[in-house]
Amino acid sequence: MSELPRVALIITGGTIDSVGTDRLDLAWYIEAGKRLGTGELLGQLPELKTIAHVKEVPFRRLPSHALVDKDWLDMVRTIHSIFDENKADGIVITHGTNTIEETAYFLNLTLKTDKPVIVVGAMRPSSAISADGYLNLVNAVKVAADPHSRGRGAMLVMNDTIYSGRDVTKNDTYRVQAFQSRDLGPLGFADADGSVVYYHQTVKKHTENTEFDVRNLQSLPRVDVVVSYVGADGNMIEAAAAVGAKGIVSAGTGAGRPTPAEDEAFDRVYKEKGVIMCLCSRVASGRVVRSPGLAKRGFVAGDNLQPWKARLLLALALTKTNNADEIQRMFDTY
Ligand code: ASP
């Protein structure tokens, strides 16, 4: 019998290892803050032994909305040390779903490996009737263990579906089919017959083919997101600049429009402090494009990235340059 692949499991918290007060507790478990202990999640899944040698790697556990940039930087270092020491063929990271898409994109932009790194979560706690995390985790291990998953960037596996870390976003607060890649669709499936099948691959550059290597970084430049709405003035933009933002992402209306007052504030903080602005949209899908006028004013257009994903790319871009045209090139590439 051939050797099984080795998969490292990094458990970072979230709903997937949360424990509710009873089997119908599908919402309040977050406040109770109770989690499965080390080894308990794996212990519930003896079936994994037929798929891979899975070994748990210690990492801090927290709800995903409590993560800070430093957690990502440490996660990237942990992943690299596992691969550098040849301890695994693939990695699965269990994670809260609230911000899992940000982690997926951050890893997609920064990992220097072609080995599979899969993030996975759950919409129902481990103690719930019909808890979805167990099968999600089995599927994530299958995807991480599959040699065909190499070179596809960091991916998210939920509800039998494989998504690109760049494109995936959360679309529902409680349903198990919470994730989608909206305009772009999933990459493939971990399907009912046990197979991992791919149908698409992203043409956006990722992992080994990006210019971002954060292994020696201890922090990222501050980038804030400002949401636009009828009557929004420029105060949030001025405030972000005042507390040291080097970049600001606008979640603009429609195809990416801030209000006139916000526009004025953006121009001011760009001129006075060199703060780089990136225009995205509060609309669920579609591209935000860079008109000649926006280019002249030093704006970057966020393409079809969600504002919180554009925040990550802008922060990474600002570790390299603060030239808006050069940053636009990065947004067109990743
Ligand atoms: N509700 C979240 C989850 O689905 C909690 C979190 O993001 O940590 O995991």
Q: Helix 235-242 and helix 260-273: axis angle, to 10°?
A: 20
- Tokens linked to 12: 């970072």
Residue ranges matching CATH 3.40.50.1170 in the chain: 6-209
Q: Which of 12, 15, 103, 169 is catalytic?
A: 15
Band (pLDDT 50/70/90 cuts) for residue 2 is: low
pLDDT in tens, 276-325: 999 999 999 999 999 999 999 999 999 999 999 999 999 999 999 999 99
Q: What is the pLDDT of residue 32?
A: 87
Report the separation in Å between the CA atom of 99 and the middle of ligand 1, taken as the mean of its atom positions. Answer: 8
Residue ranges matching CATH 3.40.50.40 in the chain: 223-333
pLDDT in tens, 119-160: 999 999 999 999 999 999 999 999 999 999 999 999 999 999
pLDDT in tens, 5-51: 999 999 999 999 999 999 999 999 989 889 999 999 999 999 999 99
How far is the C-alpha of 156 from the C-alpha of 163, rounded, in Å?
5
Best residue for ligand 1 mutational test, from 97, 159, 172 (most atoms within 8 Å of Cβ): 97
Tell me which residues have their CB closer than 6 angstroms to ligand 1. Answer: 13-15, 63-65, 96-98, 121, 123
Which residue do the tokens 């919470």 mark?
Answer: 178
Q: Which atom of ligand 1 is nearest to the CA of 30?
A: 5
pLDDT in tens, 250-260: 999 999 999 99
Q: What is the pLDDT of residue 27?
A: 96
Question: Beta-carbon neighbour count of residue 56 at 10 Å?
Answer: 15
Average pLDDT score over residue span 267-281:
98
Nearest residue CA, atom 7 of ligand 1?
96
Are 282 and 253 within 8 A, CB to CB? yes
Q: Which atom of ligand 1 is nearest to the CA of 99?
A: 7
Strand order in the sheet with 223-227: 223-227, 247-252, 276-281, 299-301
Band (pLDDT 50/70/90 cuts) for residue 95 is: very high
Best residue for ligand 1 mutational test, from 98, 101, 127, 169 (most atoms within 8 Å of Cβ): 98
Which residue do the tokens 């607060």 mark?
Answer: 173
Report the separation in Å between the CA atom of 100 and the middle of ligand 1, taken as the mean of its atom positions. Answer: 8
Report the separation in Å between the CA atom of 323 and the middle of ligand 1, taken as the mean of its atom positions. Answer: 36
Report the separation in Å between the CA atom of 95 and the middle of ligand 1, taken as the mean of its atom positions. Answer: 7
The four Cα atoms 69, 71, 75, 76 give a dihedral, to 10 degrees, of: 20
310 CB burial (10 A radius; 0-12, 13-18, 19+) = buried
Nearest residue CA, atom 4 of ligand 1?
97
- In the CATH hierarchy, which top-level class contains the domain 6-209? alpha beta
Q: Which atom of ligand 1 is nearest to the CA of 100?
A: 7
Cα angle value 59/186/68 (rounded, 5°): 30
| DSSP secondary structure string for all residues of 169-219 | EE--SS-S--EE-GGG--SEEE-TTS-EEE-----S--GGGSS---TT-S-
pLDDT above 70 for 1 = no
Counting every residue, how long is the chain? 334
Question: Beta-carbon neighbour count of residue 112 at 10 Å?
Answer: 17
Best residue for ligand 1 mutational test, from 15, 18, 26, 103 (most atoms within 8 Å of Cβ): 15
Band (pLDDT 50/70/90 cuts) for residue 265 is: very high
Nearest residue CA, atom 6 of ligand 1?
96
| DSSP secondary structure string for all residues of 219-282 | ----EEEEE--TT--SHHHHHHHHTT-SEEEEEEBTTTB--HHHHHHHHHHHHHH--EEEEEES
15 labelled catalytic: yes
Pick the CATH number of 223-333 from 2.60.40.10, 3.90.76.10, 3.60.15.10, 3.40.50.40: 3.40.50.40
Q: What is the pLDDT of residue 90?
A: 98
Q: What is the pLDDT of residue 245?
A: 98
